[in-house]
Amino acid sequence: MADPNLPASLEAPIEQWRSSLRRQPGGPEADRVRLEQQLRAEIAELMRVGLAADEAWLIAVKRVGSRDPRTGEYAREQAERVWQPVGAVPVEPAGRRARARTEAIVAFSLAVLAGALVKVPALFGLDIDRDENVYVRNAGLYALPCLIGFFAWKRRLAAGTVRWLAAALIVAAVVANLPGMSATREFAALTGLHLPIALLLALGVAYAGGRWGEVAGRMDFIRFSGELFIYYVLIALGGGVLCAFLALTFNSIGINPGPFFGLWLVPCGAAGAVVVAAWLVETRQGVMENMAPMLTRLFTPLFAMMLVAFLVAMLVSGRGIDIKREQLIGFDLLLVVVLGLLLYSTSARNPSAPPGVFDGLQVVLVVAALLADLVALWAIGARIGEFGFSPNRVAALGENVLLLINLAGSAVLYGRFLLGRGTFASLERWQTGYLPVFAAWGAIVVIVFPLLWRWIG
């Protein structure tokens, strides 16, 4: 059943898959033929959007296996290697090396472009110290457009999707730089924080390559985001060591590299490192796929114990959260980290596996975070009652309400799964389907808040 549209090197693993399917009980031969046709169609579609033959093979096996229980066992066995370097499928080495070189050139070129975009305001005579608000509110427009462009190129997105993504970036750039929209320090900070959140939706669409409407496509984006964060932190730590040694060596000869760090190396390097980290995730997925779930399993119980200890200490001492602005921001960041742990552990889990001890820890973490979020909402309400409404307080209120809804839904669905009254897939659908809600809130803060407060004022 050789397919002229697929590489000949895939026929051997397809035959192995076919043999495994025949060993599964039940089902006529016609069903097996239909499943093989689906598998080949999936591989062809994935290769059309830019995946290598081995990547397309493994992902297609996972997809077909999720639709038919008879192929589930084989699919799970293969899916464990989806994000790892694969040597079992002998894809043409020369073609793979050429494509890897091309991807590296494109990625590093876009990384240089991201670093150069940081200096665009300087072309208009703006100084990073004197005109800090301009740089802050445009923080999401340095690396993210280049990252979206990289995946639009790699996934070979349809022209209509590319135009939609380009329009979203143009609108974001215009809104962030309209006179009066983010001129004050308060609104510049809000725009700088929430514009990247809004643009993450565009990045997810580009990364998914036409699969954003599928739970699996959105879950892949969550997995990618977690691995991107880990790589970026590692690059940042290495950059910090580099800066320390640069300062040591140049100070030893009487040259102060501080201005170069502040004006060039740190801002341009921070933007370019985002694209480099994304490229590393794409090319070295096996290393992080082993590390990221391990880190998730390590920090989930630690964060759960910390939140439980905090709640107990608050009850025993009778003290509430300090309603100072810095403490509330730090508390919100903690809840975001907890949500990130939940999202990434969800993406790394086998949906068909039965509940285990780690799932119980996840529920403890979610419930503790839910209670902590209620406490934070009370503190924000108290701050609003004392000082009145402001853009920062309303933005924090909205974000905590969104987190509360997400955590409450997750707690209910995870609890039903533990009790055997629901499936893990329902939790996946809830988490991935909620991602656009955060993006929409980010867009509201960037676009509506400045207009609303100008109208009120």
Q: How confident is the model over 282-300, as pLDDT tens digits? A: 886 655 555 666 777 778 8
More confident residue, 290 or 351: 351
On average, the pLDDT of the chain sits at: 81
Residue 3 forms part of a structural domain: no
Instruction: Look at residue 231 and tell me if it is in a domain.
Output: yes
Mean pLDDT, residues 307-317 taken together: 85
pLDDT score at 3: 61
Query: What pLDDT score does 438 carry?
Result: 93
pLDDT given for residue 78 in this prediction: 46
For residues 157 and 25, state if they share a domain.
no
Q: What percent of the chain has pLDDT over 90?
A: 26
pLDDT at residue 91 tops 60: no
Range of the domain at 15: 8-91
Residue 2 domain flag:
no
Shared domain for 216 and 248, answered yes or no, is: yes
Over residues 209-233, the pLDDT tens digits come to 888 888 878 888 988 888 898 889 9
Identify the domain boundary among 91, 113, 134: 91
What pLDDT was estimated at residue 8? 73
Chain segment 224-259, per-residue pLDDT in tens: 888 898 889 989 988 888 888 888 878 877 888 888
Kindly state whether residues 306 and 451 are assigned to the same domain.
Answer: yes
Report yes or no on 178 lying in a domain.
yes
Q: Tell me, yes or no, whether 269 and 143 share the same domain.
A: yes
Residue predicted with more confidence, 273 or 332: 273
Mean pLDDT value of segment 104-112: 94
Q: Is position 1 within any domain?
A: no
Going by pLDDT thresholds of 50, 70 and 90, the confidence category of residue 89 is very low
Of the ranges 181-185, 418-422, 443-447, which one carries the lowest mean pLDDT score? 181-185
Mean pLDDT calculated for residue range 66-84: 49
Whether 322 maps to a domain, the answer reads: yes
Instruction: Return the amino acid letter for 291.
Output: M
In a domain, 216, yes or no: yes
On the 0-12 / 13-18 / 19+ scale of CB atoms within 10 A, 172 is buried
* Residue 161 and residue 246 in one domain: yes
Give pLDDT, residue 250.
Answer: 82
The reply to whether 400 and 273 lie within a common domain is no
Give 370-396 pLDDT, tens digit per residue: 998 898 888 888 888 888 888 888 988
Q: How many domains does the chain have?
A: 3
- % the chain with pLDDT above 70: 82
- Whether residue 226 sits in one domain with residue 344: no
